[in-house]
Amino acid sequence: MANQQEYQRSRPDSKIAKIVVDRDLCISAASCIGVAPEAFELDAESKAILKNTADSVDDETLMMAAQSCPTKAILLFDNDGKQIYP
């Protein structure tokens, strides 16, 4: 669990409560940035990180961004803490 960034989402209409980026899996292909540039950016180590505007992104776009990751480094959790992707 060490090398993960967690982001708690606070958007009432959202079924996605938590977003996690596994930094060991991330290979900076940056497809998440292509799909949801409001939610993700690359940091100085070239790993995907969550932006503070991530709440403005709707669930469908977030799911597409997670699904687009070619190394499945983006994990999504619902309000009950259940992993919904991958």
Partner 1 sequence: MTEVKYLIIGGGVAGTMAADTIRKKDSEGSITIISDEPYRFYSKIMLSKPAFFLGKIPFETIWLRKEEWYPENKISLLLGKKAVSLDPVGKIVALDDGASFKYEKLLLATGSSVIKWPVVGADKNGICYLRTLDDVKKIMQLVKTAKRAATIGGGFISFEMADLLRLSGKDVTLIIRENYFWEPILDEESGRLVEKVLKDAGVEILYKSEAKEILGGDSVESILLNDGRKVEAEMVVCGIGVRSENEWLAGSGLKINKGILANEYLETNLPDVWAAGDVAEYYDPILGETVKLGNWIHSQEQGKRAGFNMAGEKEPFKFVSFYASQGLGANIAFIGNIAPLPGRSVITRKYDNGKAIIRFIQSGNKIVGATLINKTEDLKTIANMIENNIDVSDRLEELSDVNFNLSGFNSENINA
Interacting residue ranges for partner 1, rule: CB under 8 A = 24-25, 27-31, 33-35, 37, 41-46, 67-68, 70-72
To which residue do tokens 């969550």 refer?
50
Could you tell me the smallest distance in angstroms from the CB atom of residue 9 to partner 1?
A: 21
How many angstroms separate the Cα of 73 from the Cα of each of 5, 12, 62, 82? 11, 25, 13, 17
Which residue lies nearer to partner 1 by CB, 41 or 59? Answer: 41
* Interior angle at CA 36, CA 32 and CA 42, nearest 5: 50
Give residue 64's identity as a one-letter amino acid code: M
Could you tell me the smallest distance in angstroms from the CB atom of residue 16 to partner 1?
A: 19
Which residue lies nearer to partner 1 by CB, 17 or 26? Answer: 26
Which residue lies nearer to partner 1 by CB, 18 or 25? Answer: 25
Q: Which two tokens stand for residue 22?
A: 């596994």
